[in-house]
Structure 1
């Protein structure tokens, strides 16, 4: 503090003629009470339209003092229209400078491609900073995927189903009715023998559904315990996300849920695992009378027995991706001396597998980790588990009415056989042996025998005609000549030409040249001939004109027209 009439004499340090130095201590502290909403976790821009959309928020305690029973209010608006209003109490404790995730237990309906504004507020008595109590978030629910373009046919009591415009990395599911909950086949190219009476299938791009018992009351008995290391076994056929599940909590605390691959299993029941995805839940008691699991004198904790209807559980947001199809585990780790979670027990009959065909199957639990226990009397932890495949929103289901693939009918038209059906590939057979080069809808037989045709259509359906007996009574000379691969060149010629053919049986061979009057003008003989004949022939001094080359071998006659011009 300086006494002066000149402002420039006041400096932060140094000498001054009048005044005194005073030190002040300034301490900045956190408020004891300051709550806010720092995130709306669900719904999000990646979510799809849902008839039961839950709101999950992250409650932040910026204060230094832990608080319990935090009032949370949420207003959901579409434009200026209020869609839903929720007022709930978060019953857990939020420590100072910490977050807690809270899923409000009343769902609302969302519509595709619609923008919602969510105003979430945490209100605590004595809040020292009310200006940050409310978080406003806007998001647009995802649009349904485009309709798939489909084709299909029934082939030999097997439905061949195809998506003709598949999107890379998308999943396609086929149903036998418009409202069926489980697909009968999966994939852009799928087959099934489960054919509905009206031959109508429905296909959609991606799937959003639930798996597992809806509530714990599906089975009569059960209890709560501080489980650490117990797991559910499951298999997924396609990449998917485990979005949420209903859990029943007997005592508050934290529960870590881990998707993992099971590693080495030791004889004492210990095991290793490879984590794939994980989340930690701040769980609050859904049991009306919370109590921790009592200690077990032999180590660990004892179960709190009972399956009461008063515990209706709570939905918890999990968001656990399972990107690789195959066998996995869903592992639960309750915090020490804290949270207890419910599972059913003493179930009679066969519990597993619990399946959505071609999507996911719950196959067991850790009771039989060594392969000796029976998992069927127990169902672990996760009820009404919501799952979703892929990354896009499911499309509407597209119907397709199938017809039976036609069976080809072979008819004789003139000197040819004709198939009533064509396809992407065809093959004619004689006496059950494929005919080389006979791959068109029309074939001209040259030998007597039993003929049929096999047709494959664009969907891969193979259909075979009935056998047809064909008797050849007379053949054109050039057709007969093909039997011995007869070749004569050049033609026309000057009386000098190359002649080749092949006979497979030994017999006397005679080669003659006949003029247009039927007179023999050339003759050569070869006794007991077999094999390939290849020779240059010189028929001598003959007049220009049309001639017939005549080959006699093994009681057969082969003819070839020849033109001689000198």
Structure 2
């Protein structure tokens, strides 16, 4: 008896037997979904007779311990031959479970009625043999083993990625491409995603494949996601398909907040949202904007719409991080970039809220694996001996994923330059799911396997960094340095390797709410003689010539030096810093010292002398003290000085007596006598 590669010859001189148990032999491999040829030689125990006989082969396909005569007949002879060779084939149904063992029973009986041959019972003349079989996989046998992403419970999204895990069950390596289809039902209408997985999958291996096309999920909806492969030559269709059910969380209540223009002449607006926990308020200019103006419960923006209306969306992030694609940069040379075997190279990022880097577009020159490590950069130095970077880091998270060549003609070289005219590579989206729970500055280190390379932009003519989603995420640079003083500027001529990065926030999005900004009136300041008065009774802080007057916080104040006076009122209710109008004070009287607001104290001085004056224009300035003998005991010079002079001059080492203070500013001179007492 021979079945496929298995053979069991009958020993020479064997006696006639009714039953033989061969289940102790090696199990006969029967690939699921395949057709296996066999041949069996029959002979006669009584050489005087050569009666007609029929053959039936039973296989316990469902492995329930019972041969079903209706459903588990793998073969029966169509006619009733005499002794000799009976050849045929066994068809293994796809319902058989691979990697399981079962019993096979072969019965040859002298009869012309195949229905007379039952799997169990007696017969007049014939023989039964039992064998052990193992259901296996055929050479070409792949299938979707699981829905990798989204997970079972998710938030609503206008661009939900779908990633499936494809397993190679067969004995042949798969590298020619596997058609895969995913159908999503449960929404308003079915969504079908189709693609060809170009990953190389070894026998027994699997990859995670991500569709480049996303679909929109609706809050409070349950979706059924059916994914299946359609590999040519795959005879076992029972493991092609996977079915998963995902539930989209119900939509939360819309956020609430306020917006305040701090004064009629303000160039910025204070934005305040009432959120807590993991929720991130995002502020938009319109109801359909994709990039937020700002993020946070208490933030600002300099964008003021004509109607002063903003749109608050909690966790409602649509924008992608980093450069959208490799064609957005204009190179200065003949090459737009190169496929490069990255090894330890990193992208620098900053995060401002807890988030997950969900996905990224990449351009791959040859299939293989890529490892990405999220880390904190500890230091980065240039090693002149090796003309390379030295850096240390603290790793936080690492993921390794399969990539396939998006380059039309795959090439595993270390570096392949790409001319500016070549835009044939459109890239592919890869699932990353890198959690970044704590806001901060990080690096994303990329390591390619020995056959893999990824595209990077070079010779960028204009510094693209930082590339920012305001208040959420920013790409700030990379590790390419040249050891020169402008090494950071040099590194900013490069961009790699992640494009169109999907950023997922921790909480679920809510509908956007319109928030109209209110304008808070600025305080008004008046001047009567030397008396300054504010229209605000509290929270004043007075300034002169843009210099803070420490301790001057009342509703009224006294002008002491010439210049422009104003107050800034801090409103604790809105957070506004409201700047008043400015009033000009010019001292009156015949004393020229009043024109510069010259003042000093204490009088007499003992250990120190406080001196203040104000110069409206810039000129070389000298300040000195001279004793009665004409000796200069203190002098300081200032080039092109203007503004407020306020200094404490030490006098503790001076003798008691009369001193002359002299101030020279440009071509003008001021004098004042003062006394020092020890």
TM-score of the two chains, using structure 1 as the length reference: 0.65
Question: What is the match of residue 464 of structure 2?
Answer: 351
The runs of 5 or more residues in structure 1 that have no matched partner are 1-17, 294-300, 411-418, 439-451, 468-566
1:288 aligns with 2:408: yes
Question: What is the match of residue 181 of structure 2?
Answer: 73
Question: What is the match of residue 376 of structure 2?
Answer: 261
Trace 1:368-447 onto structure 2 (pairs within 5 A): 368=481, 373=487, 374-389=490-505, 391-406=506-521
Alpha-carbon spacing, 1:328–1:228, altered in 2? closer, same or farther (3 Å): same
Question: What is the match of residue 342 of structure 1?
Answer: 455
User: Retained in 2: the 8 A contact 1:183–1:356?
Assistant: yes
Displacement of 1:316 = 1.2
Number of aligned residue pairs: give it: 416
Distance 1:21 1:50 in 2: 61
Question: What is the match of residue 130 of structure 1?
Answer: 237
Trace 1:117-266 onto structure 2 (pairs within 5 A): 117-127=224-234, 129-156=236-263, 157=266, 158-163=268-273, 165-206=274-315, 207-219=317-329, 220=331, 221-265=336-380
User: Retained in 1: the 8 A contact 2:338–2:415?
Assistant: no
TM-score of the two chains, using structure 2 as the length reference: 0.55
Trace 1:11-160 onto structure 2 (pairs within 5 A): 24-27=24-27, 28=134, 30-33=136-139, 34-45=141-152, 47-68=154-175, 69-78=177-186, 83-127=190-234, 129-156=236-263, 157=266, 158-160=268-270
What per-residue deviation string (whole Å, max 9, x for no partner) do you get for residues 271-291 of structure 1?
333222232221111111111
1:312 maps to which of 423, 426, 435: 426
Higher relative contact order at CA 8 Å, sep ≥6: structure 1 or structure 2?
1
Secondary structure in 1 matching 2:228: strand
Distance 1:65 1:428 in 2: 80
What per-residue deviation string (whole Å, max 9, x for no partner) do you get for residues 106-125 of structure 1?
33333232221111112334
Question: Which region of structure 1 is more displaced relative to structure 2, 201-210 or 221-230?
Answer: 201-210
User: Retained in 2: the 8 A contact 1:75–1:82?
Assistant: no
Alpha-carbon spacing, 1:226–1:22, altered in 2? closer, same or farther (3 Å): closer
Alpha-carbon spacing, 1:343–1:463, altered in 2? closer, same or farther (3 Å): closer
Trace 1:494-513 onto structure 2 (pairs within 5 A): none
User: Retained in 2: the 8 A contact 1:145–1:392?
Assistant: no
User: Retained in 2: the 8 A contact 1:148–1:398?
Assistant: yes
User: Retained in 2: the 8 A contact 1:265–1:369?
Assistant: no
1:322 aligns with 2:428: no
Distance 2:433 2:568 in 1: 55
User: Retained in 1: the 8 A contact 2:352–2:473?
Assistant: yes
Displacement of 1:187 = 1.7
Distance 1:259 1:369 in 2: 24
Alpha-carbon spacing, 1:127–1:376, altered in 2? closer, same or farther (3 Å): same
Distance 1:428 1:88 in 2: 66
User: Retained in 2: the 8 A contact 1:406–1:421?
Assistant: no
The runs of 5 or more residues in structure 2 that have no matched partner are 1-17, 28-133, 526-533, 543-550, 557-566, 583-678
Distance 1:380 1:99 in 2: 27
Alpha-carbon spacing, 1:319–1:370, altered in 2? closer, same or farther (3 Å): farther
Question: What is the match of residue 363 of structure 1?
Answer: 476
Distance 1:455 1:291 in 2: 63
Displacement of 1:24 = 2.0
Alpha-carbon spacing, 1:397–1:96, altered in 2? closer, same or farther (3 Å): same
Instruction: Note the aligned Cα RMSD (angstroms).
Output: 3.6
Alpha-carbon spacing, 1:396–1:368, altered in 2? closer, same or farther (3 Å): farther
What per-residue deviation string (whole Å, max 9, x for no partner) do you get for residues 481-527 of structure 1?
xxxxxxxxxxxxxxxxxxxxxxxxxxxxxxxxxxxxxxxxxxxxxxx
Distance 1:171 1:153 in 2: 20
